[in-house]
Amino acid sequence: MDITTILIIAAFIIIVALMVSDKLNAVVALPLMAIVLCVIVRLPVSTIMNTVVGSGVSGLASAIFTSLIAAVLGEIIQKTGIAERLIRLAAELGGDNPYVIAITCFFASGFCFIGLNGAGARFMIGLIVFPIMLSVGVPRVIAGFTMLAGTSMGYYMNVARWTFIGNLVGLEATDAIIRNTALMMMVPGAIISIALIIVGIKVKGPVFSWAAKRGEEGRDSDVPIYAILAPIIPLVLVLVFKWDVNATLFLGMIYAILTTQWKYKFKGVFDLINKSAHDGFANIAVTMMLMMGIGMVLAAAKQEPLLNPIQSLLTSIVPNSAIGIIFLFGVLGPFLTMYRGPLNPWGLGAALLGILLTTKLPLGLIITLAWLYDYYVGINDPTASQVVWTCGQLQISVGKYTRATFLIDAVYVLIGVIIAVVVFGIG
């Protein structure tokens, strides 16, 4: 191992340690990582500024633009009361049974997140579903997991998320392998999540924490039942007609507006759109900065002086056997995503997943890893804003929550990796 490779590893470890210890957040760490790695391999300053930083910022441009449009759609779905209408309808069907209520809130949250995006939208869903679940005795840890797992499950069918995952591996959002791997991982994820919900309620027993305002009329009372289809309009149009993702998101906005605002003769529609754009952009501003940082790291990793030593290192580490892959990515992988770890796809893991494309690993396996780690981080990472907010809202410690959930989701990741190994024919 030469001195350059040693310095690359040292820089990687130091920056990860700074993030884990909260000395550095990911928004700063990712561009810093890109520049430091380029300096180590002595790339010219002009290449760093023009190619890595300048072009890297727009490296995930399609995912950024799609996320911005999706954020506006999500705000419209929220502000018109569509999401609240859907969740309250599901809760009414569940009656007062904590098992049924929790599972229906899980699926309702997932359905909403076929069209919603971002931590802000999760906060909104949480404010609706937490009182409903707690009022029938769902334990607080399980209520938090239900919302986070449900919304993360919805991402598997979210066309904006398809764009992000596709960008990580250089594919279009509509590429069949993006969709197929998402569907393949969604089924075991739903089964395992529901199992944890049922076992968690059974073991803990009904715990009544606060009374929700059940049956109270709100902004969702005037929302017609057919309006709740708004979150899946883009998905259906992409799957059936193969239309452009961004175009279908705009059509989803139009559907949401037409089905909810006609009762008010479209009075205030322009204000609704303007406010949704303002709030939507604000809610995903940090996500956009992360995507820009990821783009810089990916651009840096593609530079030959840096790519060669990293590729050689990964080639010596990444196993070729099925057992080795299952152990590295299925057993150890989930824990290497925690605390913005090296396999976190919203951090340094984005670059590593991109570099894995240069190894002999099947493309389908790498995409599956991106999906699995994205799901795992969204539910269990103690540094994720939605996890911190959920624990604060439910008045439980982040440590108590993650201790209750991270192992079952680690099992899910392991099962997902085993499925991918079998499906993609790794010997």
* pLDDT score of 208: 59
- pLDDT for 427 equals 62
Amino acid sitting at position 225: I
Per-residue pLDDT at 220:
58
SS3 238: helix
- The reported pLDDT for the residue numbered 365 is 96
At 219 the pLDDT is 53
The pLDDT, as a whole number, for residue 366 is 95
Q: Which of 118, 153, 166 is nearest to 409 (CA)?
A: 153
Domain boundaries, given as residue ranges, for the chain: 3-423
Cβ neighbours, 10 Å, residue 100: 15
Q: How many distinct helices (H) and strands (E) make up the chain?
A: 20, 0
Place of tokens 């998402």: 182
Find, among 339, 332, 412, 411, the residue nearest to 382 by Cα.
339
CA pair distance 67, 281, nearest whole angstrom = 9
Q: Which residues of the chain have pLDDT under 50?
A: 211-217
What is the predicted pLDDT for the residue at 216? 47
pLDDT (tens digit per residue) in 97-111: 999 999 999 999 999
Cite the DSSP H helix spans in 302-329: 304-317, 322-325
pTM score: 0.85
128 burial type by CB count under 10 A (0-12 exposed, 13-18 middle, 19+ buried)? buried
pLDDT digits 0-9 by tens, 358-384:
888 999 999 999 999 999 999 998 878
Residue type, 81: G
CA angle 76, 165, 383 (to 5 degrees): 75
pLDDT of residue 194: 96
- Predicted confidence (pLDDT) per residue in 257-282, tens digit: 999 988 777 888 999 999 999 998 98
| H-only helix segments in 59-204 | 61-79, 82-94, 98-112, 118-135, 140-155, 159-169, 176-204
Backbone angles phi, psi at 335, to 5 degrees: -75, -20
Looking at residue 91, its pLDDT comes to 79
